[in-house]
Chains A and B, each alone.
Chain A
């Protein structure tokens, strides 16, 4: 119960941060990516703020023997850069540039109830389901299904 409350609080903090910083405004996101035009560097400062805080706290937190509600820290350990990583990031970047939305704002914006937000979020979930369905490696249904949260295979 307290574990789920902590996860809910983390989600709420994350969502508020996205909204306050301007990440839920697709035009602003595209303005950040428009480096050869009317460049709006604001979102670089979102990264600076987020990484600045997490870089310091991350180091302090992983000094602990374990997290508060779980046995062990589940941190990605892979270091290899492969075609899936680069291809996936490239496809994501194209979609991010087209729509001005990434997954977090895609969820938060659902609260606005606009047709734009619902269309993007449903298509995003469909894209995820499509990727899961077309995975080739045999471990796809077991460990592969939670790459990002898994102990060995993930990065983010």
Chain B
């Protein structure tokens, strides 16, 4: 285990904010805070929910700007994986989350909180696939 990088308190506090956000969206709109579903919905034709989705995404971007100003260490200071790897990663994340109807938020937080069997299986699957992928790329000596 890596004790140097372990940041339990910010992780718990940030997680609590995410849980509050999901609860706020449920209380006000009756919806699951699934980011991939919200983004995917914006790419599809308008079903009357566009305003809600767009507002949520604007909120995400606004938080990014606040973080950039108030807490710049929230973002990496140096480039990470090669751009071709990031492009492949993005394609897989976009395609996979739509095919599997959810991502870390919709399945991992909201679905697990509801004890949904589909979300529990999906969450176990994407964490296992992520662990396997990091193990393979590290073994190949690829991006850290």
**Taking beta carbons and an 8 Å cutoff, which residues of A are in contact with B?**
3-28, 30-31, 33-55, 57-58, 61-62, 64, 66-76, 78-81, 84-104, 106-112, 114-117, 119-132, 141, 145-149, 153-156
Contacts and interface: CB of A to CB of B under 8 A. Distances in A.
Contacts of A44: 11
**Residue among A17, A22, A112 having the largest count of chain B Cβ atoms under 10 Å:** A17
**Residue among A36, A43, A104, A120 having the largest count of chain B Cβ atoms under 10 Å:** A104
Given A21-B18, A50-B109, A109-B64, A81 B121 contact: yes
Contact of A79 (B26, B92, B99, B116): B116
Contact of A99 (B33, B86, B108, B110): B86
A140 B119 CA distance: 21
Interface string B91-113: 11111111111111111111111
Question: DSSP class of B's interface residues: helix, strand, loop or mixed?
Answer: helix
Given A50-B18, A96-B126, A103-B97, 13 more contacts: A20-B14, A71-B30, A92-B96, A96-B89, A97-B129, A98-B137, A103-B35, A107-B39, A111-B63, A116-B81, A124-B93, A131-B98, A141-B44
Contacts of A22: 7, 10-11, 14, 74
B76 A116 contact: yes
Interface residues of B, number: 120
Contact of B130 (A74, A81, A96, A124): A96
B137 to A, nearest CB: 7
A6 B24 contact: yes
Contacts of B36: 103, 128, 148
Contact of A128 (B58, B95, B122): B95
A148 B37 contact: yes
**Residue among A20, A37, A74 having the largest count of chain B Cβ atoms under 10 Å:** A20
B138 A19 contact: no
